[in-house]
Amino acid sequence: MSDPIYAQALEPGLEQLRSDKKRLIGVIDTAMDGIVTIDSEFKIILANPAAAQTFGYQVEQLLGATLDLIIPMRHRHAHSAHVKEFAQTGVSKRRMGGNFKDYYVTGLHALGHEFPIEASISSLNENGQSFYTVIFRDVSKRKASEEQMALYHTQLSQLSSALQNIREEERKHIARELHDDLGQLLAALRMDISLMQREQALSNKGTSTLASMDQLLLNAITTLRRIASDLRPRSLDEGGLYFALQTLSKDFMMRHQIACDLMADEADLILDDEKSTAIFRVVQESLTNVARHAKASRVEINLKRSADTLSLTIQDNGRGIEEGAMQKLRSFGLVGMRERIKALHGDFEIQSKLGIGTGLYIQIPISV
């Protein structure tokens, strides 16, 4: 016969246990995330209403069933192996999924359709038996949104690439019109003025006026050639990328009095028009940024080609960019460079240290 005094002494502790158990059950039953606990034989011993609703079952239908009920057939073996591997590691909890980006696993609804869930798994050893608890949520809407955003991003990149190509063609056309048509007209005017200057009947004032007109025309022709070259350098079409970069670096030094070293092998820069144009525009935009912002005295352009990759480095010795400002770089020039390289499936990186300088590091795949 039990001791009434002993039983009376245990009663407060039992009441506390009952209260804690009731509170725990309440938390599990009202949780918005699904909670499922399985034993070492993959039988479900606990499922809350959120889990049952997520998979389209009643709680009673899940209890006692194996985990295969809510996992697509093609994933069952891999999932079992995953749980066993998890048990052998000795880790008490871990996120589930195929990679470290999303942690998605696939669930099977009672109606037969599959859906993505985000889940974490934890283990508990009790009296020599292992139990595994999975906490999860349906992320169908989130994943659909992410896929839609990825699609929008791809479409924007394609649009940006198309606009770059259209703009390049327009530049090429305008540059050709300026050089071939307007340039020839100005050259013809200079020839006419030169003929007029040979006339004996001209007064001193007329001769001076013609000389002034000739100088103005010469300045106009020089400006026209510079504008046409900025739009689309003839050297890129006639001499190739290496010659165009040489001309660009020399013009940069003359205009801005900043030393510019081009280190490249001409044979390495025999590329198709798309890659040649993209690389030239990136170098051109980079030199423009150096002239405007860097306050540098020297810039180095280094191009190296391996079997399947072209590496481009542009390094200046300017004032650099503050660490916080690096996150605020949203200029159209920078975005344009990134998009050009991205269209070629390349990598684009900027590194800068205050007082040391800024470097652009680019790698572009080259098909053999």
Tens digit of each residue's pLDDT (9 = 90 or more) over 246-277: 999 999 999 999 999 999 999 999 998 889 98
Q: What is the pLDDT of residue 109?
A: 94
Please give the CATH number for the structural domain made up of 236-368. 3.30.565.10
- pLDDT per position as a tens digit, 341-362: 988 889 999 888 887 899 999 9
Count other Cβ atoms within 10 Å, centred on residue 245.
25
Q: What is the pLDDT of residue 8?
A: 56
Count other Cβ atoms within 10 Å, centred on residue 112.
8
- For residue 301, give the nearest of 313, 289, 311 by alpha carbon: 313
- Which residue ranges make up each domain of the chain? 31-138, 139-232, 236-368
What's the Cα-to-Cα distance from 291 to each of 78, 115, 296, 305, rounded to whole Å?
58, 54, 8, 27
Q: What is the pLDDT of residue 101?
A: 47
Fold type of domain 31-138:
Beta-Lactamase (3.30.450)
Q: DSSP readout, 307-362? A: SSEEEEEEEE-S----HHHHTT---HHHHHHHHHHHHTT-EEEEEEETTTEEEEEE
Percent above pLDDT 90 for the chain: 32
Q: What is the pLDDT of residue 95?
A: 60
pLDDT mean for each 10 residues of the chain (368 residues): 55 74 86 92 93 95 93 82 69 52 76 91 84 91 88 80 78 79 85 81 80 88 81 82 93 93 92 90 91 92 92 93 59 77 90 87 84
> Position of tokens 């795949």?
365
Q: DSSP readout, 240-268? A: -HHHHHHHHHHHHHHHH--EEEEE--GGG
Q: Per residue, what are the HEC states of 53-100?
A: HHHCCCHHHHCCCEHHHHCCHHHHHHHHHHHHHHHHHCCCEEECCCCC
Separation of alpha carbons 286 and 360, rounded Å: 8
Query: Are 96 and 105 spatial neighbours (Cβ–Cβ below 8 Å)?
Result: yes
The residues, any chain, with a CB within 8 Å of residue 348's CB and separated by 6 or more, are 337, 338, 341, 342, 360, 361, 362
Domain pair 31-138 / 236-368, same fold: no
Q: What is the pLDDT of residue 99?
A: 47
- What pTM did the predictor assign? 0.58
